[in-house]
Amino acid sequence: MSTTKFFGESGESSEGGEKVIRWGGIHFLTLFSILTLLTLLSACGSADATNGTTENGATPVTIMHVRPSRTAATVSVPGLFTTDDETALSFLSGGIVRSVLVKEGEPVKAGQLLATLEPTNIDAQVQQAQLGSEKAERDRQRAEALYKDSVISLEMLQNARTGAAVAKEQLTSAQYGRRHAEIRASSDGFVLRKFVNEGQLVGAGSPVLMVNGAGKGKWLLKAGLSDKDWAQVNTGDSAAVVADAYPGRTMQAVVNSKSAGADPRSGLFQVELRIVDPLGQLASGLYGKAVIRTQGRSDAVAIPYEALLDGNGDQGVVFIVENGKAHKMPVVVRGITGTHVLVNGLDSTKALIVKGGPYLTEGTAVVVR
């Protein structure tokens, strides 16, 4: 018994008693075999693709074991040059400025008269103290004589002696104030700034002149730091300083001191950098820039950029592997280098996921590759 299969109209043949109809010159059995093979290959390819992203339902990840180490960072800050012997000169008591005998930039010699106050009020105070002291001395002498004659008691004599001593000290104070109604240079130097003019009313202790020690003092760069930068900088940290007046010439410096409180006017924390090798002729008030190389933190670790997720300010999230599952862990960002992010919150017991993190959620099963 023969069987005939119809698949087209291109012709037919008889093979072993069975009629096989060909379509377009392609044997039907051959076409069927090719289609079956392609289906099998497609299924194998899908299986391989699935195995490339998961294994038994687990997401493949790459990890690293973090090791806390000292991580240094740099702090850039602008500032002004000054010397460590700058002095603001002022009057001991308030009054009207009679004369200012120097100008800004002028050299001065030790003992040179620089400024004076109107002496009328101060001279009157000295005269009053002089008269009071003389009267108190006469009262003491009279009390001594009366006590010898047993006219007054010992207490009255002691009070007279005390009054004379008090009046004498008041005279000394008035004479001291009179001497400081004028300003004299304490050493050779230069006048950096003049704050007042003749005829101006000044209070006791108000700055009148700013002078320095003729280049004998050490040069400093004074700068203001934010609270975050202030916390990273320590006394003794090295720095590279560049003055705008001498571009391209770097001076080495050391952090000499840092303030324990913020400046109430600017809200910044002051830091002084001592210039180790001043280059060129510096002047007080020149603008400069410093790059401070901090000693670093021993509790921070450097991790790859791709390991940090969901950054917000100084906060971030990373994934770690524990018992074959991914777990979120918050970290604090301390700084950024050219190749890594410096964070706190990880220790050497943590296996940090550095690749595959964006595809994870809390508790996702993972396999380490």
Domain borders along the chain are 4-53, 59-69+298-368, 75-84+214-293, 120-180
- pLDDT tens, position by position, 20-39: 434 334 343 343 343 343 33
Closest CA to 170 of 206, 119, 117, 134: 134
Question: pLDDT at residue 18 above 50?
Answer: no
pLDDT band at 1 (very low <50, low <70, confident <90, very high): very low
At 157 the pLDDT is 94
Start-to-end Cα distance in the chain: 63
Judge whether 59 and 324 are in contact, CB under 8 Å: no
In three-state secondary structure terms, 58 is strand
Of the spans 31-35, 42-46, 355-359, which averages the highest pLDDT? 355-359
Mean per-residue pLDDT, 69-77: 71
As a whole number of angstroms, the distance between CA 142 and CA 123 comes to: 29
List the beta strands (DSSP E) in 213-339: 219-225, 238-243, 250-262, 269-275, 287-293, 301-304, 309-312, 315-322, 325-336
Average confidence (pLDDT) over 48-66: 64
Separation between Cα atoms, residue 88 and residue 266, nearest integer Å: 21
Give pLDDT tens digits for 228-267: 888 888 888 899 999 888 888 899 999 988 888 888 888 8
Contact 316, 326 (CB under 8 A): no
pTM over 0.75: no
Q: Check whether 302 has a pLDDT greater than 90.
A: no
Q: Let me know: does 62 contact 319? Beta carbons within 8 Å.
A: no
277 vs 39: which has the higher pLDDT? 277
Q: 3-state DSSP call for residue 252?
A: strand
- Tell me what pLDDT residue 82 has: 84
pLDDT, residue 215, reads 59
User: How does the average pLDDT of the chain come out, rounded?
Assistant: 79
**Torsion from C-alpha of 75, 78, 84, 87, nearest 10 degrees:** -140
pLDDT at 67 (0 to 100): 67
pLDDT of residue 262: 87
User: 1.10.287.470, 3.30.430.20, 3.40.640.10, 1.10.3720.10: which CATH number matches 120-180?
Assistant: 1.10.287.470
Give pairs for 48-57: CB < 8 Å, separation 24+: 55/367, 56/367, 57/365
Query: How far apart, in whole angstroms, are the C-alpha atoms of residue 333 and residue 313?
Result: 8
The class of domain 59-69+298-368 in CATH terms is mainly beta
Tens digits of residue pLDDT in 116-139 = 999 898 899 999 999 999 999 999
Q: What are the Cα distances from residue 286, in Å, to 69, 139, 220, 244, 310? A: 38, 62, 11, 8, 43
C-alpha 139/C-alpha 44 separation (Å) is: 123
pLDDT at residue number 28: 36
Q: Give per-residue pLDDT as tens, 139-153.
A: 999 999 999 999 999
The topology (CATH level 3) of 75-84+214-293 is Elongation Factor Tu (Ef-tu); domain 3 (2.40.30)
> Which two tokens mark 87?
């002095």
Residue 298 makes CB contacts below 8 A (sequence gap 6+) with 68, 69, 70
Separation CA 114–CA 182 (nearest Å):
7
